[in-house]
Amino acid sequence: MTREIVAEQATPAVAEHGEGPVWDASRGLLASVDMQRGDLLTVDLLRDGAELAEVRRRHVGDLLAALRPRARGGWVVGLARGFGLLDEPGSPGEGEARPLGELWSDPTVRMNDGGCDPGGAFWCGSMATDDTPGRGSLYRLAPDGSVATMLTGISISNGLCWSPDGAHAYYVDSGTGGIDVLTVDLTGPAVTARDRFVDVEGGTPDGLTVDSGGAVWVALWGGSAVHRYTPDGVLDTVVRVPTTHPTACAFAGPELDELWITTSEQGAGVADGRAGALYRCVPGVRGLEPLPYRG
């Protein structure tokens, strides 16, 4: 039997296109991006707040696609056409992100979503700005700063998260309508196998996360929901989100027991104070500590 949960609105509508939530335990922050505005959004989950949490905004570039905590402090980020590094607020280098070089020159292709692997590398994938199929790729930024292309022919590169044992990764190319399982040789590095984990119904699969039991939670663009799939691919939980375009989800908080969900105004068709807000629920399971970038 499928369990249903209703997520509550946790912030005002703060993002034109919210994406990429991630817990930063060292600062007690839930970080996410307002992608096309190029802004980093943070919520301090260790503070007692009002009914709607305060969101702090920091402009870091023309486009901020994704980010993950960096082991030495700050964040690694996906920018419009490559990777970058971002210092912590208050540090001597605070300001816009420092690009690590463009991976391509075509302005009609941009970075989208990503995550870190057990080897400390940051993966981020691309897509065409007009959603043309097959123009994206998936890239890996190693701790030594080298970049490898892991997949090509991607339509809309989205969620990427490793299983609890680090044996494989779950990956979404939204153009395929499902979630795949990647077998990865980190010493190569190379993707040695790509198999279908589950076909998603009720919306377009977008960003995802994995809980401590190995189940996969995926946001459904256009579906007003987040789905949880058990490790054997069974849908057992639906989180209802009171706006049409959830984009991604992540476990956060000191106990990693809160599921936070980003949403978008794009495609929602109405400015009702709900689209572009952050949502949360307490689903009764815990997440995994986010893997950091070790470069």
Catalytic residues: 206
> Using H for helix, E for strand and C for coil, what is the string for 204-267?
EEEEEEEECCCCEEEEEECCCEEEEECCCCCEEEEEECCCCCEEEEEEECCCCCEEEEEEECCC
- Output the six-digit token pair for 146: 């080298």
Are 250 and 260 in contact by the 8 Å Cβ rule? The answer is yes
Residue whose structure tokens are 């919520």? 43
Q: Closest Cα partner for 114 from 193, 176, 33, 37?
A: 33
Which amino acid, one-letter code, is at 196? R
Residues ≥6 apart with Cβ < 8 Å to 129: 107, 108, 109, 110
Residue listed under structure tokens 């991604």: 248
DSSP alpha helix (H) spans, 2-101: none
